[in-house]
Amino acid sequence: MSVSAQAPLRDTEDFTLIDEWLAGDETAFGRIFEKYKQKIYKLVYRFVQNPAEAEDLLQDVFVREYEKIGTFNRSSSFYTWLYRVAVNTCLNYKQKGFKKNEMLSDNDYVFDRAQKPPGDWQALDMDLRSALEKLPDKQRATF
């Protein structure tokens, strides 16, 4: 099955969940959250580079989704709309002037270092973070 043939099925599944949610089935919201929480967490984490702040932003994104679901007009995929809500939430957060946090400690990594090849990870990590910090927020959202 081609990618284009799979997209409408995914959208149909999302639209069905949205319809159930709007009809009063609160568990449908929970299923949407479970389906997208990892993707949205990764996105917001790239903005703030801090697990605790990313968790807070993740909550904010889904609160906004809950409040704004009536504005979703189905002209795009649900994930596209949710992604935009997440990016806007992050940009608003950064505009409010959050305090820049210290670099993550070795215990805070959200990935498993054992799955990566050996090397000087601390130096690479610092170089990558430095380069990402120089990008405008909108461009940083793509990483």
- Under 8 Å CB-to-CB from 91, ≥6 apart: which residues? 137, 138
- Residue 76 pLDDT greater than 90, yes or no: no
Q: What pLDDT sits at residue 121?
A: 55
CA 107 to chain centre: 22
What does the pLDDT average to over 25-42?
94
Evaluate whether 69 touches 81 at the Cβ level (below 8 Å).
no
What confidence category does residue 126 fall into, taking pLDDT thresholds of 50, 70 and 90? low
Choice between 98 and 3, residue whose per-residue pLDDT is larger:
98
Look at the block and give the residue holding tokens 């610092």: 126
